[in-house]
Structure 1
Amino acid sequence: MPPLAPEAKRLMAARLARSLAQGALVVDFALYVTKLGWSATYLGVVFALAILVSVAITATIGPLSDRLGRRRFVLVYEAISIVAAVIGLTSQAPLLLAFAAIIGGFGRGANGSAGPFGPAEQSWLSGYVARRDFGSVLSINVAIGFGGMGLGALLAGTIGLGRDLFLLPLAASLVAGALLIMTPDRVSRPEAVRVNEAADAKAENGLLWKLAGLNVLNGTGIGLSGPFMSWWFATKFHAPVSAVGPALAIALFAAAGASLTSGQLTRRLGTVRTVVLMRGIGLVSLFALPFAPSFAVATGIYAVRSAFNRGTAGARQAVALGIVRGDRRGLAASVNNVSVMVPRGIAPALAGVLFDSGLLAAPFLLAGVFQGVYLLLYPRVFGGHDPSRP
């Protein structure tokens, strides 16, 4: 592992705190609101609105953080999260709880990131990391998030389906906020003007557009299945929360281990090849998942899917941040996040309708088609722009 600056360690520790709460809510939130009488369609609409609201914020945060600094924006996220947790603790009114879910990202999971303010967080961390180490360090950062979410998923069964489940996100935001306050900001300064400045900027912008196009495919695939996993396990196999929590935890721990492995593979195979290899295995498991004959088999397949698909998150972030100069990484992070979030905001509404219609396999198969096309195009677009290569 490359040496880490103390500032980078504090940012990673804040991610760990958030991930514990996010992991618990991934398991409990959908089941909690179902217990309150929410339908899958209503839940899908809330997930969709949450992502679309996040898009509006994410689109502006990255470029602004390039100019104004990172910390203030991430601290705003923690403040919003505290407000959302307090609402969850004090009210079960459908509209008010839906509002809290939308602003707080309840149940969607963000791998410990700062939600729509994630571009500021990513570019903040990248300022303490050498470009050649992006793949390994960002993969470690992602692994911390998955590991924390796994622990949170295990805690979900203990917490249960009462209002107390919102105590964990409240505590997590307080801890993360304290760590961020102790971490100095690092405002990006424009790099030296190059001879072919206009041509270089045009080339970077072209790559960002291609990144956005590919991410639309990827985000659609994620949105068709990801937010409903606890609901799907409970509906298809009649699994209680005490079983769903450990099932999701196994998948998250597998993703954490795979993320660490992908960080090592980026140094041997290159970042882009690592993404293609691991995502290919994940795609096969995605097509197999809806046909699992039992809860135990489904848990195993989902763990494989989670490991090889989610385990590439750090490597994919490294590619996105590596295609631009240092003073444009906030912009690159915003483009990367928004282009995934928009289709993720639309797809859950469609998935909710399909699930309510009894088509429990259709969203997974449709997701596989979108992610298969993404996987075919990814190496063609970014094969020559691998940050792990000189």
Structure 2
Amino acid sequence: MPPIRPEAKRLMAARFSRSIAQGALVVDFALYATRLGWSAAFLGVVFAVAVLFTVMLTAAIGPASDRLGRKRFVLVYEAISALAAVIALASHATWPLAFAAVIGGFGRGANGAAGPFGPAEQSWLSGFIERRDFGAVLSFNIAIGFFGMATGAVLAGVVGARQELFLLPLVAALIAAALLIVTPDPPRGAVPARSGQAAATRGENGLLWRLAGLNILNGTGIGLSGPFMSWWFAAKFHATAGTIGPALAVAFAAGGIASVTTGALTRRLGVVRAVVLMRGIGLASLFALPFAPSFATATAIYALRSAFNRGTAGARQAVALGLVGDERRGLAASVNSISVMVPRGIAPALAGVLFESGALAAPFLLAGLFQGAYLFLYPRVFGAHDPSRPP
């Protein structure tokens, strides 16, 4: 692992704080909403609206952070997270809770990222990292989020699907805000004109369009299965929060270990090859998951899938941020996020209808087809743009 600057460490610590709360909500929010009488279809619509809300903000925040600085935007996210938690603590009525879930991203498992303000956070962090170290350090940053999610999943099993659960995102937002306030945001100076800049910008834009196209495939696969894992475990195996929490904690911890492993592989194989290797194993696990005969087998397969699929998130961020210069990384992060989130906003509504009809395997199989296409095309599009190579 290359040296990590103190500023980057504080940003990573804020991510860890958020990820604990997000891990707990991944386990318990769907179960809590079901106890309040929400159907799977309505829950899917709430997840979809939450993603679309995130998309609208993300589209503006990434480019704006390139011009205005990153810190202020991430601090706004902490304020919104605190507000959502307060609403959920104050009321269990359907519409206030649905509103809080939309603005707070409850149950979506963002791995500690700052929701729609994630592009500002990513570009802020990248300013403290050398380009050649993107794969290793960003993978480590993702690993921290996974370990926090694992901690939160264990806490969820202890707390249960109760209203007091929302104390976790409130405390997490306050801790993260305290860390961010003392972290400097380097000023964004004017970018000097360069010979051939217009042509370089057109080339970068072409790469970003290709990134968006591939991410649509990936995001659809994620949205068809990810938000419903707690619901699926409960529906198929009659599992409770006390058993689902530890199971997801193992999966998140496995994802953290895999992310560290991916970071090491990026320094040996390159970033793109590391992504293809890890995601290939994750894809095989995804196809096997809906046919698991028992809860223990299902959770073991899910942990394997989580490890090899989610463990590449940092490496994929490295590829996206490495496609452009420093002055456009907020834009690149926004494109990377939006192109995943838009299909993630649509797919849960379809998945909710399929699950509600009793088709407990179909969403996983559809997800596998979309992610298989993504994995086939990824090295063909980005193999020549690996950030581990000299620019």
TM range (shorter): over 0.9
Distance 2:171 2:248 in 1: 22
Q: How does 1:1-390 map to 2 (within 5 A)?
A: 1-390=1-390
Shift of 1:192: 4.2
Shift of 1:195: 1.7
Q: Structure 1 unaligned runs (5+)?
A: none
CA offsets, 1:60-109, max 9 Å, x none? 10100000000100000000000000011010110110000000000001
Shift of 1:4: 1.1
Shift of 1:389: 1.0
8 Å contact from structure 1 (residues 278, 312) kept in 2:
yes
8 Å contact from structure 1 (residues 282, 309) kept in 2:
yes
Distance 1:117 1:231 in 2: 28
Distance 2:320 2:362 in 1: 31
Distance 1:171 1:86 in 2: 11
The one-letter code matched in structure 2 to 1:19 is S
Distance 2:309 2:211 in 1: 18
Distance 1:349 1:386 in 2: 35
The one-letter code matched in structure 1 to 2:69 is G
CA offsets, 1:100-147, max 9 Å, x none? 000000000110010000000000000000000000000000000000
Distance 2:190 2:314 in 1: 25
Distance 2:280 2:89 in 1: 42
Q: Structure 2 unaligned runs (5+)?
A: none
Shift of 1:188: 3.3
The one-letter code matched in structure 1 to 2:264 is Q
CA offsets, 1:36-81, max 9 Å, x none? 0000000000000000000000001010000000010000000000
Distance 2:22 2:138 in 1: 19
Distance 2:188 2:382 in 1: 25
Distance 1:38 1:186 in 2: 45
Identify if the C-alpha distance between structure 1 residues 287 and 190 changes in structure 2 by more than 3 Å, giving closer, same or farther.
farther
Aligned residue for 2:109, secondary structure, equals coil
8 Å contact from structure 1 (residues 66, 187) kept in 2:
no
Work out the percentage of aligned pairs sharing the same amino acid: 75
Shift of 1:187: 3.0
The one-letter code matched in structure 2 to 1:128 is F
Distance 1:229 1:160 in 2: 16
8 Å contact from structure 1 (residues 67, 187) kept in 2:
no
The one-letter code matched in structure 1 to 2:65 is S
Distance 1:160 1:290 in 2: 25
CA-based RMSD: 0.7
Distance 2:53 2:155 in 1: 29
CA offsets, 1:242-270, max 9 Å, x none? 00001111110000000000000000000
The one-letter code matched in structure 2 to 1:326 is D
Shift of 1:190: 4.6
Aligned residue for 2:4, secondary structure, equals coil
Moved more, 185-194 or 104-113: 185-194
Shift of 1:161: 1.7
